[in-house]
Each structure stands twice: as structure tokens, then as C-alpha cells.
Amino acid sequence: MKRTRVMVTAAVPEELGLIRDCLADGKTEIIGQSKVNRGSYSGYDLFLCVGGVGSVSMATTLTVFILTISPDYVMLIGSAGGFSQAGTKVLDVAIATEEIAAQLGVEGWPKGAIEPLNLAANQIELDQKLAGRAVAALKTSSMRVDVRSGPFVTVSTVTASRDTAENYYFTHRAIAENMEGFGAAYSCKFFGVPFLELRVVSNEVGDRNRARWQLDKACQRVQEVALSLLRSEVFR
């Protein structure tokens, strides 16, 4: 019987290291110019792929991975900025229901707001049933994490001001900000592959204060949560 193929992708290798160490029968393959770790976990044929930082890099590499691997599911994991206006807190688990390219469009009013182009959609609705199963699995798991779901915004420039954060939130009612999600969602939608985006909040979106960021803890937690979902029935 063919095992379900799940591709787990992230922007950087550090966001996949813990999962790689959990693989059984692990081996490394070269796809394009990228190393892909392949192995077994919880009955799945698992592929760990580094997609690169930014939406363009992620969409490009993910396209190659999908064409080569033919996954049944793709799960993007990583850290994110959280919008305090939405009640999102540092180290919360966030699951995307929609991806929005917040900087794709025309500068509008008020200053900093972006109006969508008529020529190109800047919003992609994700697989609601898959996201719902993930939320339900985490809320009933033994992990003690706060889970929330909602729209994510994808940006090319990390937000570093309160005004920009408020513009993004009040325009899109987003719960989290990231740099790769829209590109990944676009690639998966193009090929018809079910897509789940899972992130842990490392910092509040707004005035930049790196001393308050918790990147290492977010990186660790998102992998622990991903492993928990792989042990559940989410992808079966």
C-alpha cells in the first residue's frame, strides 16, 4: 500500500532540524540545487525541503519540489510576527486560513495602506477543512499551547512600525505576518496540492525590538507542533 507523502517545508534549515532528527531510514536527495531529507515518520513518507526566505524563493523552489516529489500534502512551518490587535501573543501557535500578499497592489490612503490591483488577486483562501482538522487536533492534544487560526499577511519587508502594523491589521484582520506563505500557497493552489501553513509567533508586529523576540523558542515549538500533527489524523 502506498504511503501518504507529506512535504514539510520551511524558509531556513534551522526550522527543520528537530524533525530531521526524528526520521527513520533517513537519507538525503539532491533536487535542483537543494538538499532534501527523506525518511519515515508516523507511517508517512516524509520529505523535508528548505524553500528559502521570501515569497519568490519559496514559490520557485516549491514548484520544483512538487513536480519532482508529487506530495499528497504540503505543510509550511516557521516563525511569524503576531498582531497584538488580534490578540495574538508571542509563542502562540497560528494556523492560516487565508494568505494575503499585503504589498501586492497600489499605495492608497491612509498612507501605508495597499489597495489590490484589478489585474492580480492578492488573496488565496487555504484548505479550510485541513486547517480546521489541524486546529482541532492541537486543541485536543497533550501539548499545552494556545492555538488560533485566521488570515496571514505575506510581506517582503518586516514591519517595524506601529502605524504599518495597524494598517495591515485593520485592512486584512490578520493574525500573523510572514514572508513566504503567499508564494507557497500560490504554488500549491496551482498544482492542486492540499496546503497547511503552521507558524509559532516569535515577536509582536510593530515597533522593532529584537531584544523581545523569541526566535529560538518559536523555531523549537513549531517543529514540536508539526510532529504532533503528523502523529494525529490530520493528513490521513
pLDDT on residue 84? 94
Q: Which residues of the chain have pLDDT under 50?
A: none
pLDDT on residue 33? 83
pLDDT on residue 110? 60
* CB of 23 closer than 8 Å to CB of 227: no
> Domains in the chain: how many in total?
1
* CB of 194 closer than 8 Å to CB of 106: no
pLDDT on residue 211? 80
Helix axes 215-231, 128-139, angle to 10 degrees: 100
Structural domain contains residue 236? no
Structural domain contains residue 73? yes
pLDDT on residue 1? 65
How many CA atoms lie within 13 Å of 115's alpha carbon, on the beta-carbon side? 7
What is the phi-psi region of residue 23: left when phi exceeds 0, alpha when psi lies from -120 to 50, beta otherwise? Answer: beta
Structural domain contains residue 98? yes
pLDDT on residue 112? 60
Where in the sequence is the domain holding 161, given as residue range(s)?
5-231
pLDDT on residue 59? 97
The CATH number given to whatever domain includes residue 179 is: 3.40.50.1580
pLDDT tens digits along 79-97: 999 999 999 999 999 999 9
Structural domain contains residue 36? yes
CA dihedral 224, 205, 97, 73 (to 10 degrees): -40
